[in-house]
Amino acid sequence: MIGRPSYPIESWSLTEHGLDIDDLARSESLFSLSNGHVGMRGNLDEGDPHGLPGTYLNSVHELRPLPYAEAGYGYPESGQTVINVTNGKIVRLLVDDEPFDVRYGDLLAHTRTIDFREGVLRREADWVSPAGQRVRIRTQRLISFSQRSAAAIHYEIEPVGDTARVVIQSELVANEQLPGRRGDPRAAAVLESPLISERHRARETMVELVHRTRHSDIRVAAAMDHIFDGPRSLGVTSESEPNTGWVTATAVLKPGETLRMVKFLAYGWSEQRSLPALRDQATAALVAARQTGWDGLVAEQREYLADFWRRSDVEVDGDAEVQQAVRFALFHVLQAGARAERRAIPAKGLTGPGYDGHAFWDTESYVLPVLTYTAPAAAADALRWRHSILPLARERAQLLNLDGAAYPWRTIHGEECSGYWPAGTAAYHVNADIADAVLRYLWATEDEQFELEVGLEILIETARLWRSLGHHDLSGRFRIDGVTGPDEYSALADNNVYTNLMAQRNLVGAADAVRRHPEHARAFGVDAETAASWRDAAEDMFIPFDKRLGVHPQSEGFTEHQVWDFEQTRPEQYPLLLHFTYFDLYRKQVVKQADLVLAMQRRGDAFTAEQKARNFAYYEALTVRDSSLSACCQAVMAAECGHMSLAHDYLREAAFMDLKDIEHNTGDGLHMASLAGSWIALVEGFGGLRDTGELLSFSPRLPEGLSRLAFGLRVRSRQLRVEVVDSSATYTVLEGEAITILHHGEKVRVSPDQPCKLDVPPVPAQERPRQPAGREPLRFLHQGNGTEVTRAADVHPVDG
Strand, coil or helix: what is 297? helix
Distance set, CA 720 to CA 240, 379, 439, 710, 738 (Å): 54, 18, 20, 11, 10
| Residues in CB range of 710: below 8 A, 6 or more apart | 313, 314, 315, 721, 722, 723, 724
Please tell me the distance from the alpha carbon of residue 616 to that of residue 611, in angstroms, as a whole number.
8
Burial string for 380-396 (b: 16+ CB within 10 Å, else e) reads bbbbbbbbebbebbbeb
Please tell me the distance from the alpha carbon of residue 623 to that of residue 617, in angstroms, as a whole number.
10
Residue type, 597: V
| Residues in CB range of 658: below 8 A, 6 or more apart | 29, 30, 666, 670, 671, 674, 675
Q: How far is CA 109 from the centre of its chain?
A: 32
Please tell me the distance from the alpha carbon of residue 230 to that of residue 235, in angstroms, as a whole number.
9
Could you say which DSSP state residue 573 is in? Answer: G
**With 0-12 CB in 10 A as exposed, 13-18 as middle and 19+ as buried, what is 443?**
middle
First-to-last C-alpha distance (Å) of the chain = 45
Residue numbers in the known binding site for substrate are: 361-362, 592-593
Neighbours of 117 (CB within 10 A): 17
Cβ(112)–Cβ(45) under 8 Å? no
Please tell me the distance from the alpha carbon of residue 327 to that of residue 679, in angstroms, as a whole number.
9
Q: What is the DSSP string of 641-696?
A: TT-HHHHHHHHHHHHTTTTTTTTS-GGG---HHHHHHHHHIIIIIIS--EE-SSSE
**What are the two backbone dihedrals, phi and then psi, of residue 107, each rounded to the nearest 5 degrees?**
-95, 100
Angle between helices 672-680 and 320-337 (to 10 degrees): 130
| Catalytic, out of 118, 488, 556, 663 | 488
Distance set, CA 122 to CA 118, 153, 261, 297, 325 (Å): 10, 10, 15, 15, 19
Q: How far is CA 385 from the centre of its chain?
A: 16
Residue type, 560: E
The answer to whether 488 is a known catalytic residue is yes
Strand, coil or helix: what is 704? coil
Question: Which long-range contacts does 358-363 make (Cβ < 8 Å, 24+ apart)?
Answer: 358/80, 358/410, 358/411, 358/412, 358/417, 359/410, 359/411, 359/412, 360/409, 360/410, 360/430, 361/409, 361/427, 361/429, 361/430, 361/433, 361/434, 361/486, 362/629, 362/672, 362/673, 363/437, 363/672
Q: How far is CA 729 from the centre of its chain?
A: 30
Please tell me the distance from the alpha carbon of residue 321 to that of residue 16, in angstroms, as a whole number.
15
Cβ(36)–Cβ(58) under 8 Å? yes
Residue numbers in the known binding site are: 361-362, 592-593
Please tell me the distance from the alpha carbon of residue 397 to that of residue 309, in angstroms, as a whole number.
41
Cβ(296)–Cβ(110) under 8 Å? no
Please tell me the distance from the alpha carbon of residue 95 to that of residue 105, in angstroms, as a whole number.
12
| Residues in CB range of 794: below 8 A, 6 or more apart | none
Q: Which has the closest alpha carbon to 619: 696, 546, 672?
A: 546
Q: Which residues are designated catalytic?
A: 488
